Homo-oligomer: A and B are copies of this chain.
Amino acid sequence: MEHVRAFKERIEELIDNRLFIDLRNVLASAEPEDIAWALNELEKEEYIVAYRLLPKGLAADVFVEMEPDAQMNLIATFSDAEVHNMIEGLYTDDAADILEEMPANVVRRLLENASPETRRVLNSLLKYPENSAGSIMMTEYISLQPNMTADEAIEHIRRTAIDSENVYTCYVIKNRRLVGVISIRELLLMDRSALVSTKMLTNVISVGTGEDREAAAALLAHYGFIALPVVDAERRLLGIITVDDAMTVIQEETEEDFAKMAAMTPTDKPYLRTSSFRIWLSRIPWLLLLMVSATFTGMIITGFESALAAQVVLTSFIPMLMDTGGNSGSQASVTVIRGISLGEIEFRDLFRVLWKEFKVSILCGLTLSVATFIKILLVDKLLMHAPITTLVAAVVCATLFMTVVAAKIIGCSLPMLAKKLGFDPAVMASPFITTIVDAVSLLVYFGFAKMLLGV
């Protein structure tokens, strides 16, 4: 993104020197995504000036890519006629996205200035629940009839393409139902007088409006489609999800998973443009919650204070046991969380997953315990002359083994249970697993110490 930064600096320079004609030319030849990125970085007065210089067609494309607060500020400077042109110039999915982010009074002004037809479509799109396939579909697509010839179909596309972003996949409608799909490539390759119905695919893969938007995007990615049709219960075509919107959904959901796995509430702005206060807000509830749960681990230690006082050397292994347990558990949990996200693992695989993690944990536990046993006897005892008996080494290694097994079992099963209960499995990642595994490993540790060392 080096060139986008250079582009932004060039724009700032031109605004500072009030070279507006140069600025207009620079903007006119740039990509809308880059212009929006640069404008989002500027001050309010600056981006309003720059936006005014954009050619009409480009302005709408840039507007779509800007951040909600900037969009709101720009709308405030629009006349009613400009609002009308803007909303009519957008694809319905983009317009609905913008409406969702605006306060009620702005939404009212936008809808009042839209044409009745646009208003009807937008109102219906806004009714679909957030994160549903319906909420990300666009209503502009190419529809053909099965008894059109290839030539007629191409003529039809010529006449209607102006309204559609995606003309590459065409949908064949009969009696208002989706009966087939055909690509423009196929239309060009087939005999000009052959009927669309002879070459269309009739086994159309589609989703319902209520389907989760992440699942819809994953389906599109799985089949490598350029667009995915969205239908109602009667298989009437309501809209399509395009590949670029699906990629955005996948990217957003991935970032949300990363944030949740590191115990943060996802934020929607890029990091460098998010205020410190907002970042604090997204992090502090989780830190407080996890800190409170970590005090239980402290309480376990308090309960065994006399044992620790008798054998102070036991304390020095606590960090190693806790960290290894935490790491073993988060390996299992992250693997399972991603498997669930990608649709590779479902709840009914629970026992297959448990059995696999059990075998892996035995292998890992054995390796780590044997390595630790040798290390304690050779390095700590022989080289460093630490006051460690073989029995203490045995307690540490037995605990390590049990901790790894418990950590992997807990790590793989909690995300699956969370999913089953309707929670987001990503929340069951490292931080929570670590807190639980810490407590387990200490209980095991003191249990073995009591049993074998009699402390």
Contact = CB atoms under 8 A, between A and B. Distances in A.
Number of copies: 2
Interface string A212-246: 00000000011110100000000000000001100
A158 B360 contact: no
A327 interface: yes
Contacts of A328: 283, 287
Contact of A327 (B189, B360, B431): B431
Q: Which of A157, A261, A346 has the most CB of B within 10 A?
A: A261
A276 B309 CA distance: 41
Nearest to A276: B359
Contacts of A122: none
A65 to B, nearest CB: 10
A284 B363 contact: yes
A380 to B, nearest CB: 9
A226 B168 contact: yes
Nearest to A219: B1
Contact of A189 (B161, B339, B367): B161
**7 tightest Cβ-Cβ pairs between the two chains A and B:** A224-B244, A262-B334, A297-B319, A276-B359, A1-B343, A280-B363, A294-B320
Interface of A: 1-2, 29, 31, 33, 154, 157-158, 161-162, 164, 167-168, 184-185, 188-189, 203, 205, 221-224, 226, 243-244, 247, 250-251, 254-255, 257-259, 261-264, 270-272, 276-277, 279-280, 283-284, 286-288, 290-291, 294-295, 297-299, 301-302, 305, 308-309, 312-313, 315-320, 322-324, 326-328, 330-331, 333-336, 338-339, 342-346, 349, 352-353, 356, 359-360, 363-364, 367-368, 371-372, 375, 386, 404, 430-431, 434-435, 438, 442
9 contacts: A254-B254, A258-B261, A271-B356, A272-B339, A283-B360, A284-B363, A290-B323, A291-B323, A299-B316
